[in-house]
Structure 1
Amino acid sequence: MTRTLLLSTAMLLATGAAQAQTPPATQAAAPDTGLEDIVVTAQRRNEAVQDVPIAVSAFSAASLEAKGITQTLNLISYVPNMFGSNNTGLGSANAYYIRGLGNTETIATFDPPVGTYIDDVYMSRQNANNFSFFDLERIEVLRGPQGTLFGRNTTGGAVNAILKKPSDTLGGYLEAGYGSYDKVLLRGSVDLPMSEMVQFKISGYYADDRGYAYNSTTKEHTNDNDMAGLRGAVQLKITEGLTWNAAVAYMRNDGENLLNWPDDPRNTANSGGRFLTTGMVQNYTAASPSPYVGLGVTGRKAGFGLGNKTDTMLYTSNIEYRGEQHTLNLITGVIDMRQKFALDFADGRGLPNIANPNPAVTGYTLGGFAILNDGKHKQVTQEIKLNGKLFGDFVDYVVGGYFYDEKNTTDFADVFTLPFAAPPRGFPLLLADRTLNNNTTAKAGYAQFDLNVTEQLKLTAGIRYTDEKKTFQISDNRASCAANPLPIGCLNNNLVASNGVAIPTTQRTKLWTPRFALNFKPNDDVLLFASATRGFKSGGWNARGTRRDTLLPFDPEVVWSYEVGAKTEWLDRRLRVNLTGFVLDTKALQTPSAFVNPSDGSVTFITQNFADYQNKGLELEITAVPVEGLNVFLNVGYQDDKYKVDPSLAPNRYGVKSVRQQQADCKAQLAAGRVPLAPAGASNAPDCAAGIVDANGNIATPVRTPDWSLALGASYDFAMPSAGIIVTPSVNAAYRSRLETGTANATIYSGQVRSTATGTLFPTNPFSGDFITGSRTNGFWQVNASLTLRTDDNNWTVAVECSNCFDKYYAQSSLVNYTYISPPRSWMVRAKRNF
């Protein structure tokens, strides 16, 4: 079992899923003592992973179990050049970065560049992509743009989860676990074949814990990871070649990722846990009603307590007709997602600056900076796909058509509390309360042809055409704006930029995304490949703006990726070495940025196409079985990336200052003795540490792209034949070198700095010293380990496992100079019974 843990970690190409528990349907034949390949659908057809000319990491069901991977966020440690974390505030949302492309936004006018798929159905909203797993067959992580076969919004890559189909054999499993923070885990699945024609499967999971962070103001626990799900699936084998698989699933995630610290900010002598201090409470009562109603917040969201609740309904259908040479699939998906949250992004107090890097605890009851959100998101997808062979075995092909329709309604409000009145209420200011309606309709057609020129040489050419339309509407919920909609702070569809140019409320994109590849396979153990692929991510609007002139559009992000690679096996399939090199060129990179407004201390959000982006790198995966029972792996990723900024000083068409002009203004402010991240006033250098210009006036380092990433581990199966037991200890460690998490690299360090413009001496500085708070993340290691006992018939399994075993933490994201750190050490004991 842990054997699979290590084999599967050898990511790139399913580099390892060497466990006999993986179903035969997903495994290519291999010697019993060697490595096994997972069969993947990275090219929308079944192929052994070692034969696919794509950088793909595949994990079998047994591999996921051995690693203790029970939800999507756990994958990031095992995929080279992949970084990820929960979004700020939201435990239900994952921000994935692959080869430098990612997005931390969840509002519906932003699309993630790493697409999430469940059974070939695209999940458009990042808000709920941190789901737990039902009865999984495998997961594939595809690195690099997948614009030809997977379509829009896969410029960084794709995470593809494939669930098991109902079996024609009665059976299943039950699993229970208990762990840190009183976590309870229950999972199970049962196959119920009714006949040779009709089979059912019912799967479910439940996870509940009290939360690892303690609020010393309200005496409540938060940052829990509560999840639940139930899925029913049916398989109808109508004829020998005609099959229909359909499923309906409900998934719930009530997790948070609120600011927290290892020492209690209210009392730093209280340490040894995780603490926060916001005055927002989790539930309101008649005796203690919501303070947001009196502030003027409208709708259901005014009554939301601190927390996040996300509910998703997923309907999938796949009708497949399989002939001798061709297979036709009709794939339908419907996703209905509802999200309600009230989150404090400033821990119930002020925002850090170099005059006050650790704002005093105030416990503001309306939060320091709170966002209340009530969202409804529904999408429908329909795809027709045909694949097969032509002219004997000379041509392999995949062709298809795709339709996508999404409708979003987001009712949300921003509340910022100023220190003009005594806590715990302070002086709350309702920055905005609005309802956003945005829709997307996309149609696409695609085709890919592989020419088998010889037994060793294959040429691939593919193309996709996408026609996409997006619309945007916004209305202000405040009574004052209903009475007088003219002020610029009232949000409505009369959108005009600061320079007087009208802001469009419709975007139309028509784009071709081709792919070309060359495969050379000199023998069964070596595959050499080279490819060029184009992809794009949809444009959108800066919907978090609190003035009409800031609701600016941004253009689509277009990517070309060039790869060369080798997939090799040695020593009678006991050693696998895979190497990929890539160059990624991105035009009009979409960059979300949030910073403290130097004029009033509030939060400003802006997303624009600030620059182009280039990333070059290498990815090495090594997996080995030196002797029977011993599995080892090593994965290494290297990246060298940078922004490529237009030299023009002219503003864009909406009057937004160019990056080069901002950089020049920043340097002029520094020369005049002004200091970035200072409080509002003459000391502040407002053009520095904002957008993608850092505190020194340089173009910032791109975010979440450590130069080096490393993962290694080993496991060994100790067989005890007399007892009928196999004992498997395993350990794996992951390293990431230094990285930045904020687009402007804004960080506050120890050491005084003086503003010569005003003579003010500040106790901290934004340039260098010991880290206090902000964007910088130093290099870090994290170690996971487990000890598993299983019967040799695999009927019983008991495992003890720890995650982040040495309780190390690192900055995984940042917002308005606050740092969000990774979760603490956790442990779990699991028992599983297969039947």
Structure 2
Amino acid sequence: MLKPTVRTPLALAVAVALSSGQVYAEAGALEEVIVTAQKREQNLQDTPVSVSAFGAAAIADQNIQDVADVSQYVPNVEIAETPGGSTGATISIRGSVSINPAVTWEPPVGIYVDGVFVAKNVGGLFDVAELERIEVLRGPQGTLYGKNTIGGAINLISKKPAEEFGGTLKISAGNYRYKEGFFSLNTGRLADRAAFNVALNVRKRDGFYENTSTAAGAVDDYKKLDTQAARIAGSFDITDRLEAYYIFDQSKKDNTPAFGQFDAAGSSFEKKDKGANDGSIEDSSSTSGHALHLTYDLADNITLKSITAYRSMSFEDAGDYDGTGVAGFHTRRDVDSDQVSQEFQLIGNADRFDYVLGAFYFKEESGAKNPFDIGGVEGLVKNGYGVDSQSYALYGQADYYLTDQWTLTGGARWTKEEKEAYIERVDGTGVGFGGNIPRTKAKDDWTNVSPMAVLTYAFSNEASAYFKVSKGWKAGGFNGEAQNVDIFKKSYDEETVTAFELGLKSRWMKDRLQLNAAVFQNNVKDMQLSNYLGAYSLIENAGEATVRGLELEVLAALTDSLTANLNYGYLDPKYDSFKDQAGNELKDVNKFPYAPKTKISAGLEYKQSLGFAHLVGRLDYSWVDKYYVYHEPATAELTKSGDYRLWNARIALEDIQVGTDESIEVAIWGKNLTNEEYRVNGVPVADQNGNFVGAANYYGDPRSYGIDVAYRF
């Protein structure tokens, strides 16, 4: 008799999984990958969700240093730094993206740290001192998540305190004077009731490009790295039924801005090694968070969980957005954001079904000071904007096992969001920047119910297929960068998506070949897109769109020691209707931002015991099709990225025994080995008449390489 397809709730927000590049052959077969969903274990192959996950070993083997590094390995996912900086994240999943990190807007893709939603993408590329895994879920998430996310979710899960005493000390060095120090200590179980972990990570590196500007305050080099991350975690067995888990994390970055090189309209695609940006001065951020998880076993088959969290973020930058050494258009941003959240989950199972019920509350206060320096006059235009928002949600999902082969899953989410935004401006130009705006407020609220359903069929213990229909929803909001009060007061509409997905999870050839695939169609209404107007950006609703795609992930155990993986993503987004304010139909000319048509990644991993150590070698290749950064044709052409390919590699000697419980690991690594030159994004540059004459474009990091030495005890 076949085992049920899924014997746990589909709460994959906390899935523990190995990436396809990390799973390796064991006696000629692929290992069974065990995932946990709300403290319960299941086989990853039995989960009807499109998810890619990277365990601790994969993070090390593929030299993943932040969320952006994950992008090249996951189908239909693009993650890039926001233009001009190195701490903000632009994340696109299946064509859902927000390209401007203004605090009055919220992203369609959620970042979660240990189950806690991070409200803003500005400052989103923060470091976490010690990660256990990274998970990327594609498609709407809401029936098992605290915050509704319309495009998908990225989960950062840090390591829990170990049961035994031990730790790791690692030092690294590389080109561009790269230096890294990492320390982690586990106390082990104390008095059979508590365990603690402390971790600290410091990274420093010179910049990649030289700033030839001699302007006062301008940085000497671009993209200099100076980061610190710390984490403290404690787990407590308060009683036999009650557990507590507390995490504090902190990340500080004191980097320098990215190099925005000016590319004139019609110029050739050529990256420069140096240039003058007189307004490139600062790019720093600080994030911290407290989270308390309480788990109480009400009965053998019912568990109550509580997640109480507070996070804060501050971000400061001063960037040059004309891309030249002439005092043209510079901006500064001083952002503060604080959030509190409370989530309750009731998780249980009965004879033929499992269930998750949840309640969620979220409150955020975010504000920004955003002055413009124009023509060398500091603060000629002073902008201020912000938002206070509250979100309430009830959600639930249940799996009903019709037979040993058929499983029916249903869920729904009710959400209410309230937002009050403000705007203020002092315009010293007298022309072109909207004029003075006294502090003005506007408020609105939105309510939504989003259902989902999945039907899963297990062909055997090795293969299953599923069909999923789900609704996704994103609240409306206000344009904090509006040019006048009338535009600001009119909230833009909520965005909705109806998503259809047909998936396959399978193992073949006696567990030597794994093939997972998904085809999907998203029907989007009122897609929220950011329109760049030369100095300000506005969210506008793009009518209707249909996004179709394919995702294929293949893993093969070629020998007992050699594993290969291939990932393929195909995306076909089209606007069904996109009219401007004058009623002109633009569906055939407007572009989809951060939506490359094709994306391929492949990897080889070799593991072999040498007696005194384990040899681990990995080679990764990725190819990304061309994509656009903006939807409006003129700005899209000025900043588009051509197709590009990246090669990364790492070779390590692991588990070199130097004592009874002590070992050393030595590794060499390289990223972008062929020194590929490629655009990441850009900011269009307009003349005094408002005509776009070029763009300050930003390019991917050059070749880097280094050596790691780790001591484990």
**What TM-score does the superposition give when structure 1 sets the normalisation length?**
0.76
Matches within 5 A, 1:176-325: 176-193=171-188, 194-218=190-214, 220-261=220-261, 274-280=273-279, 306-322=281-297, 323-325=299-301
Tell me, yes or no, if the aligned pair for 1:742 and 1:774 is still in contact at 8 Å. no
Residue number in structure 1 paired with 2:326: 363
Q: Which amino acid aligns with 1:197?
A: R
Residue number in structure 2 paired with 1:528: 465
Residue number in structure 1 paired with 2:132: 137
CA distance in 2, matches of 1:44, 1:718: 33
Deviations 1:582-639 (A, max 9, x none): 001111011112144xxxxxx3422210332211011110011121110110000111
Residue number in structure 2 paired with 1:381: 341
Residue number in structure 1 paired with 2:447: 510
Residue number in structure 2 paired with 1:610: 542
Aligned partner (choices 354, 366, 386) of residue 408 of structure 1: 366
Q: Does residue 833 of structure 1 match 2:711? A: yes
Q: Does residue 569 of structure 1 match 2:564? A: no
Aligned residues: 672
Tell me, yes or no, if the aligned pair for 1:490 and 1:548 is still in contact at 8 Å. no
CA distance in 2, matches of 1:639, 1:476: 41
Distance 1:488 1:141, change over 3 A: closer
CA distance in 2, matches of 1:512, 1:474: 30
Residue number in structure 2 paired with 1:784: 648
Q: Which amino acid aligns with 1:16?
A: S
Q: Does residue 746 of structure 1 match 2:614? A: no
Q: Which amino acid aligns with 1:335?
A: R
Q: Which amino acid aligns with 1:776?
A: K
Matches within 5 A, 1:339-354: 339-347=315-323, 349=324
CA distance in 1, matches of 2:85, 2:197: 31
Equivalent position SS for 2:49: coil
Aligned partner (choices 422, 428, 438) of residue 473 of structure 1: 422
Q: Which amino acid aligns with 2:205?
A: D
Matches within 5 A, 1:540-579: 540-551=477-488, 552-579=490-517
Distance 1:42 1:91, change over 3 A: farther
Distance 1:411 1:701, change over 3 A: closer
Tell me, yes or no, if the aligned pair for 2:665 and 2:711 is still in contact at 8 Å. yes
Q: Which structure shows the higher strand fraction?
A: 2
Displacement after TM superposition at 1:147 (Å): 2.2
Q: Does residue 492 of structure 1 match 2:438? A: yes
**What TM-score does the superposition give when structure 2 sets the normalisation length?**
0.89
Tell me, yes or no, if the aligned pair for 1:148 and 1:535 is still in contact at 8 Å. no
Equivalent position SS for 1:553: coil
Aligned partner (choices 561, 565, 586) of residue 629 of structure 1: 561
Tell me, yes or no, if the aligned pair for 2:260 and 2:682 is still in contact at 8 Å. no
Provide structure 2 residue ranges, at least 5 long, that are not aligned to the other structure.
Answer: 1-14, 685-693
Tell me, yes or no, if the aligned pair for 1:92 and 1:256 is still in contact at 8 Å. no
Tell me, yes or no, if the aligned pair for 2:21 and 2:565 is still in contact at 8 Å. no
CA distance in 1, matches of 2:334, 2:183: 32
Deviations 1:130-189 (A, max 9, x none): 122322221110001102222545111000111111122101111111112111111121
CA distance in 2, matches of 1:746, 1:488: 23
Matches within 5 A, 1:97-112: 97-112=92-107
Equivalent position SS for 1:77: helix
Displacement after TM superposition at 1:493 (Å): 4.9
Matches within 5 A, 1:19-30: none
Aligned partner (choices 10, 17, 20) of residue 16 of structure 1: 20
Equivalent position SS for 1:381: strand
Q: Does residue 460 of structure 1 match 2:409? A: yes
Aligned partner (choices 384, 394, 401) of residue 445 of structure 1: 394
Tell me, yes or no, if the aligned pair for 1:12 and 1:57 is still in contact at 8 Å. no
Equivalent position SS for 2:277: coil
Aligned partner (choices 677, 686, 703) of residue 593 of structure 2: 703
Distance 1:14 1:583, change over 3 A: farther
Q: Which amino acid aligns with 1:248?
A: F
Deviations 1:307-363 (A, max 9, x none): 11111110011000134111111101110111111111112x4xxxxxxxxxxxx43
Structure 1 stretch 788-797 or stretch 220-229: which is displaced more? 788-797
Tell me, yes or no, if the aligned pair for 2:316 and 2:333 is still in contact at 8 Å. yes
Tell me, yes or no, if the aligned pair for 2:380 and 2:428 is still in contact at 8 Å. no
Q: Which amino acid aligns with 1:821?
A: Y
Residue number in structure 2 paired with 1:519: 456
Displacement after TM superposition at 1:64 (Å): 0.8
Q: Does residue 587 of structure 1 match 2:525? A: yes
Deviations 1:182-230 (A, max 9, x none): 1111112111132210111101111111211210113701212321111
Displacement after TM superposition at 1:245 (Å): 0.2
Q: Which amino acid aligns with 1:474?
A: I
Equivalent position SS for 1:134: coil
Displacement after TM superposition at 1:33 (Å): 4.2
Tell me, yes or no, if the aligned pair for 1:152 and 1:535 is still in contact at 8 Å. no
Q: Which amino acid aligns with 1:201?
A: N
Deviations 1:454-486 (A, max 9, x none): 1111100001100110001223357999xxxxx
Displacement after TM superposition at 1:522 (Å): 2.3
Tell me, yes or no, if the aligned pair for 2:209 and 2:259 is still in contact at 8 Å. no
Q: Does residue 639 of structure 1 match 2:639? A: no
Provide structure 1 residue ranges, at least 5 long, that are not aligned to the other structure.
Answer: 1-10, 21-29, 282-305, 350-361, 418-424, 482-486, 496-504, 597-602, 664-691, 693-697, 749-772
CA distance in 2, matches of 1:117, 1:321: 22
Residue number in structure 2 paired with 1:161: 156
CA distance in 1, matches of 2:166, 2:226: 28
Distance 1:43 1:328, change over 3 A: closer
Distance 1:474 1:604, change over 3 A: closer
CA distance in 2, matches of 1:14, 1:530: 24
CA distance in 1, matches of 2:347, 2:221: 52
Distance 1:257 1:73, change over 3 A: farther
Aligned partner (choices 680, 683, 697) of residue 815 of structure 1: 683
Tell me, yes or no, if the aligned pair for 1:12 and 1:56 is still in contact at 8 Å. no
Residue number in structure 2 paired with 1:329: 305
Equivalent position SS for 1:746: helix
Distance 1:431 1:262, change over 3 A: closer
Matches within 5 A, 1:612-761: 612-645=544-577, 656-660=581-585, 698-721=588-611, 724-746=612-634
> Matched residues, percent identical?
25
Q: Does residue 775 of structure 1 match 2:663? A: no
Q: Which has the higher contact order (CA 8 A, sep 6+)?
A: 2
Distance 1:523 1:182, change over 3 A: same
Distance 1:558 1:747, change over 3 A: closer
CA distance in 1, matches of 2:289, 2:16: 29
Distance 1:106 1:256, change over 3 A: farther
CA distance in 2, matches of 1:703, 1:806: 27
Deviations 1:511-566 (A, max 9, x none): 01111001111211011101011111222222123433443531111111110011
Distance 1:564 1:334, change over 3 A: same
Q: Does residue 122 of structure 1 match 2:117? A: yes
| Larger of the two Rg values belongs to structure | 1
Q: Which amino acid aligns with 1:702?
A: F
Q: Which amino acid aligns with 2:633?
A: N
Deviations 1:762-787 (A, max 9, x none): xxxxxxxxxxx723322221111122
Displacement after TM superposition at 1:61 (Å): 0.6
Residue number in structure 1 paired with 2:666: 798
CA distance in 2, matches of 1:261, 1:437: 30
Distance 1:459 1:242, change over 3 A: same
